[in-house]
Structure 1
Amino acid sequence: MKYICKHIFTRILNVEVDFASKVEEFVAFNGPKLSYTKLPLGKEFFIRSNDLLFEQGVNDLDISVQKWDDVPCFFNAGAKSVIPYDIFAASFYLISRYEEYLPHVKDVHERFTAEQSLAFKFRFLDKPVIDIWAFKLREKLQEKFPDYVFPDRECTYTSTIDIDNAYAYKYKSFVRSSGGFINDFIKFQLGSFWDRFAVLTNIKKDPNNTFEKLLSLSEEYKMETIFFFLVGDYTTFDTNVSASKRKFRLLIKHIVDYVQVGLHPSYFTMKDSKMLKKEKERLESITNIPTSKSRQHFLRFSLPETYQNLIDLEIYEDYSMGYASDVGFRASTCTPFYFYDLDFEIQTPLKIYPFALMDTTLNDYLGLTPKQSLGRIRDIQNEVKAVNGSFITLFHNESLSGYKRWKGWQRVYETMLKTANS
């Protein structure tokens, strides 16, 4: 109860809130007050409570999604409640990722998919409904307490960049480069064969080397930017330049002089805490800065195990909360929140920064053109701006290259920054 109230009142509405469990204490308080129970005590602002926040464990709940005005909502609160739905229980269900603890079918990468979520099934994945509900609650509270002044919060934007492949062709081992040439030749990919040769002989610049462009855009638009570097060992799914390569290490050192840098834990770290620890220490040995930010490669995480491992390693900010297959708000909020561990029934120190969209989702999964993608981006931006939330995006250095499948995408990122900045 305290956890979700802090999110709605303190983090979304910028209002300090205190709690009273004794009736006498509640009655004696003269300021704005709200009761959350089965029956009202008097004529106070009353919300009838659902049982969810007073239970322990995870149960298969029967949820009926309806409309509060034009916004989807659930957990009907009945006629006596000032607002028609228990938004505290509904918000907790969504933000704790309660449904991801229930039995579900995972995709090929062992991920909970957007299509299985309540938000996708009832078509509110593209809306930060928890923030919207909070602002609707604020309207009702202002009617009840007209003298109380609610402070506003500012809309923020954070650009995050994943470095899965710092370079398309450069600084790979002899074996990998030779294999690349042979593969291009066998598949008659003569364009790739020539590009690989031209880059390796310094005739051309490596197409993935878009780092100076990214840094200049960050500076031009005064945008908070975070780079997440993959420094894991080579696997089928982790194909970045080796972290032992001097040029790659110098690149990371260069980037950390200008923007924040976080860890991009490799594919198999989802369930391997030792591997996660090794990669964290590897990045710290390069940057000489403690690593506190992280985003899982392939967005592979398992609740609550992966997050428990991050906490054990003193990583306190995670940026993995989003879907690969669709844009929108996986936790139904555009406000950073603390992870609530349903196994131990505690709020943890791990702060979750939910991202709203990813470049590969728009291009690869949804098959949108750059122009169509800008339309979707603007729609999501407008949803965040309407509640003065935090707009967080995920792009890759490759998507600014204009190379191969990213042809025509160079301006998408810059246009997004421009509209966010306005």
Structure 2
Amino acid sequence: MILIYTHKVTPRVRYIFKHIFTRILQIPIDFTGKVEEFVAYNGSKFSYTNVALGKEFFVKSNELLFQQGIKDFEINVQKWEDTPCFFLTNEQSEVPFDIFAASFYLISRYEEYLPHIKDAHGRFSATESIAFKNNFLEKPLVDIWAYKFLKTLKAKFPNFESPTRKYQYISTIDVDNAFAYKHKSFARTIGGFLKDISQFKIFTVWDRFAVLTNIKKDPFDTFKTIIEYKKTHKVRTIFFFLIGDYTTFDTNVSASKTKFKLLIKDMVDYARVGLHPSYYTMNNGVLLKKEKERLESIINMPIKRSRQHFLRVSLPETYQKLIDLEIEEDYSMGYASHTGFRASTCTPFYFYDLDFEIQTPLKIFPFALIDSTLNDYMKLTAKQSLGKIRDLKNEVKSVNGVFITVFHNESLSNYQRWKGWKRVYNSMLKIVK
């Protein structure tokens, strides 16, 4: 155990120290505000305060963890050896910056509470983040800091021993469109035919006809393949089903369709299933509740995990609504336009609500990449995509974190814009394991 002296144990202090020591480094810690108790303790210890008590291991604290509410800090990124850092300290401090305040700033998504320009879908843009602006978006910086800090700590306490956590991988599948052509309403089917004809998409017209007359299998029906890969590679897999009502941005099969219900029930037998809340649930708790209850009625069990469609998250409102509905895990922490680590960590963490200054029970699982980011935004080839996946996996593996990827059932179809992507998914599972 490590004993930490600090002049004030705030909720922020407890939260970020627990994340770094307990979740990343797996080291038990305790706090004291009593100098006598700290001095008398014979084990590994350090002080986190304004001025060192003596010649102990000392980290000079920034004011962030002792404040409440939001303040606009000037972030000046420097280097700790070859690693970016900010909230610099003085020479007395064992590390050149306040690792705990900087980690809290990144993980709490502090910058998303500050005034910023939103994208076309009302989301915080990757390009607005300090991680993007300072070229560390593709590094789990908080985890890297934690291990560098541990190395410094062990240099001070040579006999200190710490466990090593294990690298993990989670494959998540978003089901935005369970079927390309089948089980759609009559109006949508006719509309699809007319649209394809008007755009002279002759091959698509034929495909649509062939699927509807059972000559061909629906290209997006790749669920058996995904389950086979899951079994072969022994990967943890989670399906997120979009079951909201039809809108411009929510175009899945109607949740009232028997075939769709049977598909969802079938997936529950093989993998975990979560909710993919529709586009307009970001600030609509009533709609979110309706969709959660709809999915629960299909699978006859409580829904505990979710990922927002289009990754539409508004902090803290969206997460507060998920908590109200007793959702325990959220998988929305990432960007649609860029690969990397939105919260600069590859370790699942509990959402800290800056409105109420509390650690909430909602556990956030940050992902590193989405298939559509690689294919649609970055315009990478299949080979280039595998290279990017390998690079991100290596970043996570170097800190024994949790590597999470987002694919869609349709990307395994090898159909139209997804040609060659079935192999990408299969090859990825070999790389990440």
Please tell me the TM-score bracket, short chain as reference. Answer: over 0.9
Q: Could you give the per-residue CA deviations for residues 273-297 of structure 1, whole angstroms, max 9, x where no partner exists?
A: 0000000000000111110000000
- Structure 2: how far apart are the matches of 1:200 and 1:24? 78
Query: Which amino acid in 1 is paired with 2:133?
Result: K
Q: Could you give the per-residue CA deviations for residues 136-182 of structure 1, whole angstroms, max 9, x where no partner exists?
A: 00001111111111100000000000000000000000000000000
Which residue pairs with 1:16 in the alignment? 28
Q: Secondary structure at the match of 2:255?
A: coil
| 2:92 is the alignment partner of 1:80 | yes
Which residue pairs with 1:397 in the alignment? 409
| 2:346 is the alignment partner of 1:337 | no
What pairs up with 1:1-400 in 2 under 5 angstroms?
Answer: 1-400=13-412
- Structure 1: how far apart are the matches of 2:301 and 2:368? 28
Q: Secondary structure at the match of 1:395?
A: strand
Q: What is the aligned-residue RMSD (CA, Å)?
A: 0.6
Q: Secondary structure at the match of 1:315?
A: coil
CA displacement at 1:115 relative to structure 2: 0.4
- Structure 2: how far apart are the matches of 1:11 and 1:381? 19
- Structure 2: how far apart are the matches of 1:5 and 1:415? 37
- Structure 2: how far apart are the matches of 1:289 and 1:240? 22
CA displacement at 1:109 relative to structure 2: 0.3
- Structure 2: how far apart are the matches of 1:382 and 1:29? 39
Query: Which amino acid in 2 is paired with 1:107?
Result: D
Superposed structure 1 runs of 4+ greater than 6 Å apart:
none
Q: Structure 2: 5+ residue runs without aligned partners?
A: 1-12
- Structure 2: how far apart are the matches of 1:70 and 1:202? 59
Query: Which amino acid in 2 is paired with 1:381?
Result: K
Q: Could you give the per-residue CA deviations for residues 92-122 of structure 1, whole angstroms, max 9, x where no partner exists?
A: 0000000000011111100001000000000
CA displacement at 1:24 relative to structure 2: 1.5
- Structure 2: how far apart are the matches of 1:180 and 1:187? 11
CA displacement at 1:78 relative to structure 2: 1.0
- Structure 2: how far apart are the matches of 1:59 and 1:416? 42
TM-score, scaled relative to structure 2: 0.97
Q: Could you give the per-residue CA deviations for residues 327-361 of structure 1, whole angstroms, max 9, x where no partner exists?
A: 00000000000000001111000000000000000
- Structure 2: how far apart are the matches of 1:289 and 1:414? 30
| Count of residue pairs the alignment pairs up | 421
CA displacement at 1:205 relative to structure 2: 0.4
Q: Could you give the per-residue CA deviations for residues 197-223 of structure 1, whole angstroms, max 9, x where no partner exists?
A: 000000000000000000010111110
- Structure 2: how far apart are the matches of 1:277 and 1:354? 23
CA displacement at 1:191 relative to structure 2: 1.0
Which residue pairs with 2:6 in the alignment? none
Query: Which amino acid in 2 is paired with 1:181?
Result: F
Query: Which amino acid in 1 is paired with 2:328?
Result: Y
- Structure 2: how far apart are the matches of 1:90 and 1:187? 52
TM-score, scaled relative to structure 1: 0.99
